[in-house]
Chains A and B, each alone.
Chain A
Amino acid sequence: DQQVKQNSPSLSVQEGRISILNCDYTNSMFDYFLWYKKYPAEGPTFLISISSIKDKNEDGRFTVFLNKSAKHLSLHIVPSQPGDSAVYFCAAFSGNDMRFGAGTRLTVKP
């Protein structure tokens, strides 16, 4: 069952512009949501998280927004840089259960 969905397999943006990556979930019991970034031949690395009791968390160029009523979260990267090009996974956590989306490949063009 796909409890976490990333419906866009890829996204291409120009350097300096905003990148918006989206994620939908179905289980209202999730406590935390996380974004991981993955470069080729490396494991996913933690990027940013948000608790289900918040609607926004910001860390430098990265901001995650959570809309619980819509069961939707998004990751905003501003400004986008070529080094941000990677696969981004949305993940949701409840108890000891972590579920991942299928990922979105972001390409930032110089």
Chain B
Amino acid sequence: DAGVTQSPTHLIKTRGQQVTLRCSPKSGHDTVSWYQQALGQGPQFIFQYYEEEERQRGNFPDRFSGHQFPNYSSELNVNALLLGDSALYLCASSLVGTDHFSGANVLTFGAGSRLTVL
């Protein structure tokens, strides 16, 4: 049973460019959340998608946008990249309506996509 898969694993962009990161959730999960983890910090919540709509958003500018497809996979798009966008971007999946804190139903994270902006 595949867990959460993310692509690409690493990428390098220059300031002003745009990037798209992809995520396939764990089998059976229907909700995808995206996190940004800067160096030396914990993951910061960007937004969450369920039923192809953004359900909740953290404190990130509109340059960060996303999409969820009918198969529950998701994309994170970042426009007009800044040096400060360099980070590990983590995707996490879960199943809505379940107890998120009883072992198997908590957030399941992918290994992340490491973005470097030069």
Contacts and interface: CB of A to CB of B under 8 A. Distances in A.
Contacts of A89: 42-43
Contacts of B103: 46
A4 B106 contact: no
Interface in B94-118: 100-103, 106-112
Contact of A43 (B4, B44, B100): B4
A60 to B, nearest CB: 12
A96 B106 CA distance: 12
Contact of A46 (B41, B45, B107, B111): B107
Contacts of B40: 9, 102
Given A41-B111, A44-B43, A96 B4 contact: no
23 contacts: A32-B101, A42-B111, A43-B109, A43-B110, A45-B109, A46-B103, A46-B106, A49-B101, A49-B102, A49-B106, A51-B101, A89-B42, A89-B43, A91-B42, A93-B100, A96-B48, A97-B56, A98-B33, A99-B42, A100-B42, A100-B44, A101-B42, A103-B42
